[in-house]
């Protein structure tokens, strides 16, 4: 029984580390990074989860000392209402693209 428990635990750790690695590889500029349920739009909950992932990544870097670029990315993405242009509590791909274009022009 203990052997099976250890195997299960090792497998769980492997899956969690693979999931974390995938999340870290995702780019916050990618719509799919935010649209985690692949519904075609981004809810506030998904947005907040993406912000939490960015924050976690920043804390993991250099003993919690995020570099200037990481802090700037976090600050740009943290305001959901700035991206939800039509105030319908959903960010669709067009709104996200306009937001991305605005970032590139800054």
* Token pair 């899956």: residue: 15
Q: Tell me, what's the pLDDT at 66?
A: 65
Of residues 11 and 89, more confidence is placed in: 89
Q: Tell me, what's the pLDDT at 64?
A: 59
Q: Does the pLDDT value for residue 41 go beyond 70? A: yes
Tokens for 43, please give them: 């809810």
Element containing residue 51 per DSSP (H, E): helix 44-60
71: CB partners within 8 A, 6+ apart: 58
Of residues 65 and 45, more confidence is placed in: 45
Q: What would the mean pLDDT of 36-53 be, rounded to a whole number? A: 92
Q: Does the pLDDT value for residue 69 go beyond 70? A: no
DSSP state of 90: -
Q: Across all residues in the chain, what is the average pLDDT? A: 74
Read off the pLDDT of residues 25-38 as tens digits, 9 standing for 90 and up.
557 788 998 999 99
- Report the share of the chain in percent with pLDDT over 70: 66
Tokens for 74, please give them: 């976090």
Domains of the chain and CATH, by start = 31-104 (1.10.238.10)
Q: Tell me, what's the pLDDT at 21?
A: 42
């Amino acid at each position: 029984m203990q052997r099976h428990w250890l195997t299960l635990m090792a497998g769980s750790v492997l899956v969690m580390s693979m999931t974390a690695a995938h999340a870290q590889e995702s780019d916050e500029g990618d719509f799919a990074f935010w649209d985690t349920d692949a519904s075609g739009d981004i809810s506030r909950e998904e947005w907040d989860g993406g912000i939490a992932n960015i924050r976690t990544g920043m804390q993991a870097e250099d003993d919690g000392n995020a570099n200037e670029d990481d802090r700037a990315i976090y600050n740009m993405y943290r305001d959901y209402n700035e991206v939800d242009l039509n105030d319908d509590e959903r960010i669709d791909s067009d709104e996200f693209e306009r937001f991305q274009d605005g970032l590139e022009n800054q």
